Chains A and B, each alone.
Chain A
């Protein structure tokens, strides 16, 4: 198969990537349905690839302002690089479309940017981490359920493992933007080691307290996020709450490997705390068509990715490690 290298980065004539990004964002806006969703993959040129950590990058694209403002934490986009990093598409199975939740959003007066943070976990995600400014990233969505929106006086416990950091960051940022100091946000981020640790600065900006754990102890507390969680759950809420005056609801949100989330959700259930998990499963279609993303009797693509913690704990097929 011989196809042209149609990524702007690979075209011989030099294109104005910034101008192209704006017109592609406008084009994406024209495809949004009444729910603010695009059901067709719309290619956007990458504006910037931000290095986060070893094998972890954030891909920044221009998006319609309306899309950035209406995004709610937990929702995901189907992300697709129509060409690989060399501008070819011979190895077609490297270029599949995969679900990613948004890691960061920047909204200006007339423009907005979305950042998708990708960790090299295999063929397709590895290919995404090798992309550069000017390469195409097509977005389809947003799809899926969202975390409950906190109200004044609420407390959020955010527990992530690895790249599960991204929806936790958006949950924290969204809560802080909505409620300012009226919400208390405590996060635990677990990583394998210091080398892959990322999003720490971002989380520090929006959380009241941040705990880091690493499997090997090279950063923060040695162990899994579950090593520090019992202490947080056992603490009298009024004691850990320094800036919240009203007594609200404490909720735990988690995203990470299923074995970790299972333990985290069980700890929350034992402590009598409402919990929600952002699930990741093999999710090829996003449209309730293929039926391959089921957990229990629910489809992760449309009844997830955010699912109720107590319900998840009742499912036999929840809690095992899944390949990416």
Chain B
């Protein structure tokens, strides 16, 4: 019998699969729907200070096999509505509430309101690459000093575990990871989507309503694994304080989960896999993970964790 349970700050879960932020998860009905599936934990859609509408469509397309593009525009009901919702609802799985804001004051205010309403842990979305339509300006997650400011402000405001979600769209992700952890993040989530763009040559314009978009799905998995390994190795070398990492990026199978755990992830998040299989993806992934662990003789996730890092220890 394989033990799949995971314990991380604010997250005691029966298995390591969490819903990734941005997939369903904007309201009680859809969170309950995912909670009823095989997922071990939930992450809400990113909640901001005010309600936001979806960008014009197309908002999500599969541009080629395993290449999923999206630009939703952080649509969310706003912190007031969402806080009222979590006050009145009880979910059968741990809920990590994802938040965003335009600056540290907004982040802190949203965090404070949600924790007052009962949020047990927060994920800080520092890194949505499409929050500013058409903008080429750097986002918070690309500027370590802003990451420190935001994470620090939220850590001052609330006393719950904070997971800083990092963007892969930087040169050295260990700098951003270090900034987040130094400022008080109890964990890291990586990666967010990869900056992307696709054009239809017949109509001569981008195929996503917002023009610029983010790439997710199996195409980004090797990128996510590389970023995860870089951060995990830096933690092993004590260059960064060691904290739990929630790994994500194109996970669609039990073997993918094992890959992320072996690169140091404590748990993983699953998003784009739901495009093809909806919430049934969780059970399917779990079954495969369990049989792979049985076949290869792992009794629990701790035995697997970081196994693939050993071979890379000497790499700088």
Contact = CB atoms under 8 A, between A and B. Distances in A.
Contact of B205 (A24, A82, A298): A82
Interface stretch (B56-64, B170-178, B252-260, B289-297): B56-64
A296 B36 CA distance: 14
A291 B26 contact: yes
Interface in B164-209: 200, 202-205, 207, 209
A150 B59 CA distance: 36
Contact of B30 (A6, A24, A294): A294
A296 B29 contact: yes
A97 interface: yes
A297 B57 contact: no
B33 A294 contact: yes
Contacts of B25: 291
A93 interface: yes
B33 A297 contact: yes
For this complex, into which size category does the number of interface residues on chain B fall?
35 or more
A15 to B, nearest CB: 11
A127 to B, nearest CB: 11
Contact of A78 (B58, B70, B72, B203): B58
Contacts of A4: 204
A152 interface: no
A92 interface: yes
A292 B60 contact: no
A94 B57 CA distance: 10
B275 A288 contact: yes
Nearest to B216: A289
A140 interface: yes
Contacts of A97: 56-59, 209
Nearest to A91: B56
Contacts of B72: 285, 289-290
Contacts of B22: 289
Nearest to B277: A288
A6 B207 CA distance: 13
B interface, over-half SS = loop
A116 interface: no
A292 B275 CA distance: 14
A3 interface: yes
B56 A292 contact: no
B29 A89 contact: no
Contact of A41 (B23, B24, B61, B278): B61
A275 B202 CA distance: 43
B203 A289 contact: no
Contact of A80 (B23, B58, B134): B58
Contacts of A289: 22-24, 59-60, 70, 72, 274-275
B45 interface: yes
Interface residues of A, number: 41
Contacts of A40: 61-64, 207
Nearest to A82: B203
B27 interface: yes
B81 interface: no
B134 to A, nearest CB: 8
A60 interface: no
A98 interface: yes
A41 B200 CA distance: 9
B58 A291 contact: no
Interface in B49-89: 54, 56-64, 70, 72, 75
Nearest to A93: B56
A39 B62 contact: yes
A24 B202 contact: yes
A96 interface: yes
Contacts of B29: 294, 296-297
B203 A138 contact: yes
B205 A3 contact: yes
B3 to A, nearest CB: 30
Contact of A95 (B30, B33, B56, B75): B56
A290 B26 contact: yes
A284 interface: yes
B132 interface: no
A43 interface: yes
Interface of A: 1, 3-4, 6-7, 24, 27, 39-41, 43, 78, 80, 82-83, 89, 92-98, 136, 138, 140, 284-292, 294, 296-299, 302
Given A95-B209, A138-B200, A140-B61, 12 more contacts: A3-B205, A6-B205, A40-B207, A89-B205, A95-B56, A97-B56, A97-B57, A136-B202, A136-B203, A289-B24, A290-B72, A297-B29
28 contacts: A3-B205, A4-B204, A6-B204, A39-B61, A41-B61, A41-B200, A78-B57, A80-B57, A82-B200, A82-B205, A83-B205, A95-B56, A97-B59, A97-B209, A138-B207, A284-B54, A286-B60, A289-B60, A289-B275, A290-B54, A291-B23, A291-B30, A292-B26, A294-B33, A297-B29, A297-B36, A299-B278, A302-B278
Pairs A-B, 6 closest by C-beta atoms: A291-B24, A97-B57, A39-B62, A291-B30, A6-B204, A96-B56
